[in-house]
Amino acid sequence: MELLMAILAGLLFSTGVYMLLQKQILRIIIGTALLSHGAHLLIITMGKLNRGGPPILSEGVTKYVDPLPQALILTSIVISFGVTSFLLVLAYRAYQKNGTDNMEKLRGNNHE
């Protein structure tokens, strides 16, 4: 099971990196979203995918899944959610102000 998840995370990483290297800003942002999905999937996989009850104390359950990676992921999800929403608004503003969403055209040496 871990192997399967590792391959899936790898696929997400490679797609994410491919999207990061595109020219359109929106594709790049989709790339970052894919990358963070890959990272979160990797955290849950790295905590070992043992079978067990959900980490809520209840009677009759002796074996639980590891609660720590779940807490780490929850933290990481909200952080990347915040950053992504900021990035989307920034991309919108940059498109309005610079008149292009092409990263190739967003360079320049006209400093001040």
Partner 1 sequence: MSNLAILPILLPLLTGIMLVFINKQKTLVKVITGIMVFVNLAVVSWIGSVVFQEGPLVLEAGDWPAPFGIVIVADQLAMVLVITTNLIAVASAFYAFRSLDEQRERYYFYALFQLLIAGVSGAFLTGDLFNLFVFFEVLLMASYGLIVLGGTKEQLRESLKYILINLFSSILFVTTVAFLYSVVGTVNMAQLAERVADVEQQGILTTIAILLFLVFATKGALFPLYFWLPRSYSAPPTVISALFGALLTKVGVYSILRVFSLIFIYKLEFTHQFFIYMAGFTILFGVIGALSTNNVKLIVAYNIIPAVGFMMAGIGVFSATALAGTIYYLVHDMIIKAALFFLVGTMAAISGTYDLRKMGGLIKHHPLLGWMFFIAALALAGLPPFSGFIGKFLLLKGAVEEDHYGIVAVGLIGSLLILLSIIKIFLNGFWGEARLAPEQEKASENGRLFPVALLLIFTIALGLGAEFFYPGIQGIADSLVDPSIYIDAVIKE
Q: Residues in the site for partner 1, rule: CB under 8 A?
A: 20, 25, 28, 32, 35-36, 38-40, 42-43, 45-48, 68-69, 72, 75-76, 79-80, 82-83, 86-87, 90-91, 93-94, 97-98, 103, 106-108, 110-112
Helix (H) or strand (E) holding 37: helix 25-46
Rounded CA gap, 79 and 67, in Å? 19
In sequence order, which residues have a C-beta less than 8 Å from that of residue 106 and are 6 or more positions away? 94, 98, 100
Minimum Å gap between C-beta 60 and partner 1 is: 25
Rounded CA gap, 33 and 91, in Å? 14
Considering beta carbons, is residue 15 or 69 the nearer one to partner 1? 69
Considering beta carbons, is residue 13 or 59 the nearer one to partner 1? 13
Minimum Å gap between C-beta 112 and partner 1 is: 5
